[in-house]
A and B are shown apart, each in its own frame.
Chain A
Amino acid sequence: MHGKAVVVGVGETTYYKHGQSPDTEFQLACSAIQRAADDAGLPISEIDGLISYMDQRNSPLRVAAALGMKELRWSSTPWAGGGNNSAACVMEADAAVTSGYANYVVAFRALAQGQFYRLGSGYGIAAGMAPEGLSWGAPYGLMTPAQECALHTKRWMHDHGVSQEALASIALASYANAQRNPRAVRHGQPLTREAYHASRWIVEPFHLFDCCQENDGAAALIITTPERARDLKGKAVPIVAAAQGLGPDIGANAFQQKWFPGMYYENVGRMIWERGGIKPKDVDVLQLYENFTGPVVMALCEMGYCKPEEVDAFVANGALEGPDARLPFNTSGGNLAEAYIHGLEMTIEAVRQARGDSTCQVKDVNYSLAVGGPGYAPGSAILFGAAL
């Protein structure tokens, strides 16, 4: 076991439907960090590292100034993609504290899609010209992650005879688990298989309920060493292993035959099992980022949970629903039904499971795994052990 770094605090704002946050994105970011510091029992001035990902608009310098940090010894962001980095940001924090370059590092993500553009709205293209990277698809109306992932999923389902019911089972599991979680935006709104199939198509094979929500909110984790954590009140959760993978750059690259169809999780899986010294069946509870349900079933297979030809049976009959599921999965409701804070809320749920604090708590958790967004490289994953 690695265990030289721990998560010692987690913080979240209220999660809102997109556009409904009364706070600005920057206020959300700072609130989540303050709450994580409170959870850890750490004076916020002691935080000395900040990490986020994708188009995080809240620069570490602005955050450090606003929160009164005394030092900023580490600031970084994992390159490329988006939610694929929801585990890699914690991996970087691990590197920062185990190297000794910083003492208390925050990994955070804030989104106010009302204040800024919606991630699902065609990468925010409004004008009449598509920049080079988007030019290969946008003139043809191929301009959203849903459409990109649908093209991969459609071919993969075709090649392996995977049914629409496998996708439905992912959505149903996330929604079922969200009904136990009062923080979930979709709490109180259970989903049936009939309602899933009756919902409108976004882009085939994705119905409305195959797609993650778009939300406003922020999430933050504080990472330090076990020695420092001993002096703090926060329940420390060890990082057993982490991995970041290889894949194509975003856009047309992802559709080349070398990578198509694929989600870029074979390499991440191989590394996380090797570094953790475990196999998929040893994971007690799994959080697997749903941008869309198709990429989830593909990533499950790439990581070695089952073969594509077996995935229909693997996810069927409630196999992923509830704390006693065959594979407890997305226990907070995930991006589909809790909130889409770019997956960092799912990394927090993995920590909560290791602490024994989930609203869908699995018994005797030794290994709690969070896997970042599939379909956009580099993929990432982080494996937590039981709280110290």
Chain B
Amino acid sequence: MPRLLGDDFLVPSLTPHNKPYFTAGSIQIQFCKDCGHAQHPPDDLCYACQGKNLEFRAMVGSGRVESAVVVHHSVHPALKTKVPYAVAVISVDGAPGCNVMGNVVGCAPEAVKIGDRVRAFFDEVKSPQNGETLKIPNWERAAS
């Protein structure tokens, strides 16, 4: 489906840290192969054991809304016709301690509640950086 805020709205500039999350077509979380710690956002070192043996793993793509707010004031020219919209903090099933950010789409923004179960989907857009295909995760409510 088209991105909530427009296909040409800000896309991630890709780095080794965020490329898996925004291109894999699954919710990618960084894990430590030595101690099993999950962390987000990804970094160069395991925050639990300081190991460097890190890998990305695909999660099942479900989660829970930990907080959600309705944005009314547009702070970017491209958003003037997009407000109001909901932004949420979502805990990722299978990744203890890890929350990601996103929109919850497919319902009125004020309908999104703390505790809602959500499921990821992926918007495919071409990066203006190098034409690479991005698969930007976003969220919709799931049956609980």
Footprint of B on A, CB under 8 Å? 120-122, 125, 128-132, 135-144, 146-147, 150-152, 154-155, 158, 200-205, 251-253, 255-258, 260-261
Contact = CB atoms under 8 A, between A and B. Distances in A.
B51 interface: no
Interface string B115-144: 000000000000011000000101000000
Contacts of A130: 10-13
A293 to B, nearest CB: 14
A158 B114 contact: yes
Interface core residue of A143, A158, A200, A252 (most chain B CB under 10 Å): A252
Contact of B97 (A154, A257, A261): A257
A132 B20 CA distance: 12
Contact of B17 (A132, A140, A147): A132
Contacts of B89: 151, 155, 255, 260
Contacts, number: 136
Interface in B72-105: 72-73, 75-76, 79, 82, 85, 87-89, 91, 97-103
Contacts of A251: 41
A122 B17 CA distance: 22
Given A143-B75, A155-B89, 19 more contacts: A125-B76, A132-B13, A135-B22, A139-B11, A140-B4, A141-B9, A141-B76, A141-B82, A142-B87, A147-B87, A154-B114, A200-B72, A200-B73, A203-B70, A204-B69, A256-B39, A257-B97, A257-B98, A260-B66
Interface of B: 3-5, 8-13, 15, 17-18, 21-22, 39-41, 66-73, 75-76, 79, 82, 85, 87-89, 91, 97-103, 110, 114, 128-129, 136, 138
A205 B69 contact: yes
A151 B87 contact: yes
A139 B18 CA distance: 13
Contacts of B76: 122, 125, 141, 143
Contacts of B102: 140
7 contacts: A132-B12, A132-B13, A140-B87, A141-B5, A141-B9, A143-B75, A253-B41
B45 to A, nearest CB: 13
Interface core residue of A130, A136, A201, A251 (most chain B CB under 10 Å): A136
A201 B72 contact: yes
B41 A136 contact: yes
Contacts of B136: 139
B100 A136 contact: yes
A128 B75 contact: no
Contacts of B82: 141
A261 B69 CA distance: 14
Contacts of B21: 136
A261 B67 contact: yes
B135 to A, nearest CB: 12
A256 B69 contact: no
A3 B132 CA distance: 60
A140 B82 CA distance: 11
Contacts of A158: 67, 114
B41 A252 contact: yes
A141 B5 CA distance: 7
Given A151-B67, A151-B69, A253-B41, A139 B75 contact: no
Contacts of B75: 120-122, 143-144
Contact of A129 (B41, B85, B128): B128
Given A139-B11, A141-B5, A154 B68 contact: yes
Given A122-B76, A147-B87, A256-B40, A135 B5 contact: no
A249 to B, nearest CB: 9
A146 B69 CA distance: 11
A135 B128 CA distance: 15
Contacts of A140: 4-5, 87, 101-103, 138
Contacts of B110: 204
Nearest to B99: A255
Contacts of B66: 155, 257, 260
Nearest to B13: A129
Contacts of A139: 3, 5, 9-12, 136
Nearest to A120: B75
B14 to A, nearest CB: 8
B21 to A, nearest CB: 8
Given A144-B75, A154-B69, A136 B87 contact: no
Contacts of B97: 256-258
Nearest to B3: A139
Contacts of A136: 18, 21, 41, 100-101
**7 closest cross-chain pairs (CB), A and B:** A135-B12, A155-B67, A201-B72, A252-B41, A202-B73, A129-B13, A122-B75
Contact of A201 (B5, B67, B73): B73
